[in-house]
């Protein structure tokens, strides 16, 4: 096995996804540029371009993304990307401003570090949203609450998240003061791929530099007025860690629309509500206004956090709306295909 490909997770990929490709025919996408790709191959780092067939792919998701393993054909000092190999996981969100379009962010991810600063960036509802998307994608979420050194009540915020999301590992850290990073380093596994998710200014680049042991990603100050970063990582880029794990750094993400493949993924996030739902009178209870609803009873008796309940209802409504829009888009596509086939038959009949 080529040591360079092994360093970027080829052995682990082969255990997750069966393939018969020779190691000299494959590479992994490190980052996506406007006109080309940065790849790691068995011969080192190279630039890659797409074949015409891939370049004009009808679906944006068919194009290579950061984290993808691809089939390549060497060409001079570069390479031609001929095929995207099957992905064992995909992280997507609803495309901003579109009802039913998905935006694929990265692929072949094992776990996600969801980082929030315990300052103006702290937002439990956003955490619940992204955790739901990760569980739907079968990617294990790990919450990192950064900047614990900046607040006296940091322990209260940490306990709040642990209470709301008891099935998700939550770690309190300070990337700048090196608090909790030993625990975090111990969690990183060789050849597994992690992705860093968080808004601009949450501390992703500072954390990545601390884990790398050197400054590879640029960091700047935070605006005191709004608590947002004055910079952002401009694209998604893959890095190898000293212990053999792999991390994908991402641009700051504040808006994360749900594009769930399975609405039931909400029950994996809101475990308290899903447990209460088992006691409801009706199996299809919406927990809105039905009689003998265990969820509403718990809410009325202060046994369920109202903000958590409202978050669940909002995300479920959003997920249902996306699912309906997707089905409508598929139906219109089928109607259009049927119309085209009928027109072809009509033209053939006219010809004879």
CATH code (residue 57)? 2.40.50.140
Give the model's pLDDT for residue 296.
97
CATH code (residue 278)? 1.10.40.50
Segments in the chain below pLDDT 70: 1-2, 58, 96-100, 216-234, 254, 326-352
CA-nearest of 53, 55, 23 to 36 is 55
Tell me, yes or no, whether 113 and 186 share the same domain. yes
Tell me, yes or no, whether 37 and 99 share the same domain. no
Cβ-in-10-Å burial (0-12, 13-18, 19+) of 78 comes to middle
Give the model's pLDDT for residue 100.
58
Domain assignment present for 347: no
Tell me, yes or no, whether 73 and 109 share the same domain. no
CATH code (residue 210)? 3.40.50.300
**Torsions phi, psi of 48, nearest 5?**
-135, 150
Give the model's pLDDT for residue 121.
82
Tell me, yes or no, whether 100 and 196 share the same domain. yes
Give the model's pLDDT for residue 345.
62
Tell me, yes or no, whether 39 and 179 share the same domain. no
Give the model's pLDDT for residue 232.
47
45-56 residue pLDDT tens: 999 999 988 888
**Domain edge (last residue) among 226, 250, 274:** 250
Tell me, yes or no, whether 107 and 168 share the same domain. yes
Tell me, yes or no, whether 159 and 206 share the same domain. yes
Give the model's pLDDT for residue 227.
47
Global pTM reads 0.83
Distance of CA 34 to the CA centre of its chain: 21
Domain assignment present for 310: yes
Domain assignment present for 337: no
Tell me, yes or no, whether 184 and 119 share the same domain. yes
110-151 residue pLDDT tens: 999 999 999 888 999 999 999 999 999 999 999 999 999 998
Cα distances (angstroms) measured from residue 146 to each of 23, 49, 54:
39, 38, 40
Tell me, yes or no, whether 106 and 36 share the same domain. no
Q: Could you list the residue range(s) of the whole structural domain that residue 307 is in? A: 263-327
Tell me, yes or no, whether 94 and 204 share the same domain. yes
């Amino acid at each position: 096995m080529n040591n360079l490909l092994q360093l970027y997770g080829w052995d682990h990929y082969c255990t997750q996804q069966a393939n018969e490709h020779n190691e000299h025919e494959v590479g992994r996408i490190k980052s996506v540029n406007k006109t080309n790709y940065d790849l790691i191959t068995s011969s080192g780092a190279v630039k890659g371009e797409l074949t015409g067939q891939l370049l004009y792919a009808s679906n944006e998701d068919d194009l290579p993304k950061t984290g993808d393993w691809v089939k390549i054909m060497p060409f001079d000092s570069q390479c031609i990307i001929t095929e995207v190999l099957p992905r064992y996981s995909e992280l997507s969100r609803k495309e901003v401003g579109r009802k039913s379009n998905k935006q694929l962010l990265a692929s072949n991810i094992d776990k996600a570090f969801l980082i929030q600063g315990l300052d103006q960036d702290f937002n439990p509802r956003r955490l619940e949203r992204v955790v739901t998307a990760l569980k739907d994608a079968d990617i294990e979420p790990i919450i990192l609450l950064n900047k614990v050194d900046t607040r006296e009540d940091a322990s209260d915020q940490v306990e709040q998240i642990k209470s709301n999301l008891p099935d998700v590992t939550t770690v309190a850290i300070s990337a700048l003061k090196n608090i909790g990073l030993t625990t975090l380093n111990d969690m990183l596994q060789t050849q597994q791929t992690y992705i860093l998710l968080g808004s601009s200014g949450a501390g992703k680049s500072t954390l990545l530099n601390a884990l790398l042991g050197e400054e590879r990603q640029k960091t700047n100050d935070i605006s005191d007025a709004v608590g947002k970063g004055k910079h952002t990582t401009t694209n998604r880029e893959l890095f190898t860690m000293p212990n053999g794990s792999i991390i994908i750094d991402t641009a700051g993400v504040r808006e994360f629309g749900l594009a769930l493949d399975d609405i039931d993924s909400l029950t994996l996030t809101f475990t308290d509500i899903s447990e209460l739902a088992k006691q409801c009178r009706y199996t299809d209870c919406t927990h809105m206004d039905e009689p003998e609803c265990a969820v509403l009873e718990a809410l009325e008796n202060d046994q369920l956090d109202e903000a958590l309940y409202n978050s669940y209802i909002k995300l479920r409504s959003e997920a249902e709306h996306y699912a309906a829009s997707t089905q409508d888009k598929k139906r219109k596509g089928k109607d259009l295909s049927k119309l085209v086939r009928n027109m072809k038959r009509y033209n053939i009949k006219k010809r004879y």
